[in-house]
Amino acid sequence: MDLYFIDYLASNGHSFFHKASAVPKMIFSMSIIIAIIMSNRPSFLAFLLLFLLLLLKILRQPVLKILAMTFYVAVFAIIFAVSQISGSFLWPLTIILKAVTAALSVLIVLTTTNYFDIFAVLAHFLPKLIADSLFMTYRSFFILLKELKNLTMAVKVKRGLSPRKIFTNLKSLGDILGVLFIHAVDLSSRSSEILAIRGYKGGMAKYRSLRCFSKYDFAPLILSVAALLGVGIFG
């Protein structure tokens, strides 16, 4: 499960990107994406992609595994690309490069920054209800993931899931998700009780203070400027 692995990478790494705070890294990612939107030149986009992969390598992150996480985006992009073939292969290539590079720039930030630090930044732009719900989504995702794993194991042991039996599998999946949904609704009512007991009145997304500026924040900022200059000159 990607989210689990991303969370793990973010909370267990020690690179200079891990140490930088969320805001400059988010600026970094946005700059890359702006560069991607502005440029239509495959060579520049390919250079950006290689640059990001190299950055991942320098950060000692598992490059291939993170690149693999852009799989879905790549597939979507290919569908768009294939349906637009114009004789030249350059435009489809451009589309795929854009999609994958953009996704990678976000993943670099996510695999070096804890979710909740990013949410805490977003909380300053989002309505209270949405920002707090984001935090709740994050926490409950891991609680429910564990339950989903356990339910799946229990069904597997009773042979409700096996490689060749598609219909049995679909039915079992329906059962599993049914149980999961019901438990999720129960969990949500217990969680409201817990929030009430602990005095919650809204606004928890802003409890996490944004970190102060540190020397580590220079790296993503310098890279942002470089990306923007790069697209201005070469893109």
Residues 59-88 that bind another protein (CB under 8 A): 69-70, 72-73, 75-77, 79-80, 82-88
Does 209 participate in binding another protein (rule CB under 8 A)? yes
CB of 64 to another protein, least distance (A): 14
Does 204 participate in binding another protein (rule CB under 8 A)? yes
- The site for another protein, by CB under 8 A, has a size of 123
CB of 78 to another protein, least distance (A): 10
Does 46 participate in binding another protein (rule CB under 8 A)? no
Does 162 participate in binding another protein (rule CB under 8 A)? yes
Which residue's CB is nearer to another protein, number 51 or number 141?
141
8-state DSSP, 213:
P
CB of 221 to another protein, least distance (A): 19
Under a CB-based contact definition with an 8 Å cutoff, are residues 165 and 24 in contact? no
Q: Helices 90-110 and 22-38: crossing angle, nearest 10°?
A: 180
Dist CA 164 CA 53 (whole Å)? 38
- Which residues in 84-113 contact another protein (CB under 8 A)? 84-88, 90-91, 94-95, 98-99, 101-104, 106-107, 110
Q: Which residues of 38-56 are buried (b: 16+ CB within 10 A; e: fewer)?
A: ebeebebbebbbebbbebb
Phi, psi (5° rounding) for residue 88? -85, 150
Q: Which of 52, 134, 219, 223 binds another protein (CB under 8 A)?
A: 134
Coil, helix or strand at residue 144: helix
Does 201 participate in binding another protein (rule CB under 8 A)? yes
Q: Which of 33, 53, 63, 221 binds another protein (CB under 8 A)?
A: 33
86 beta partners: 88
Under a CB-based contact definition with an 8 Å cutoff, are residues 23 and 210 in contact? yes
Under a CB-based contact definition with an 8 Å cutoff, are residues 119 and 135 in contact? yes
| Residues 6 or more apart in contact with residue 193 via CB below 8 angstroms | none
Q: Which of 27, 53, 148, 228 binds another protein (CB under 8 A)?
A: 148
CB of 58 to another protein, least distance (A): 19
- Which residues in 1-20 contact another protein (CB under 8 A)? 1-8, 11-12
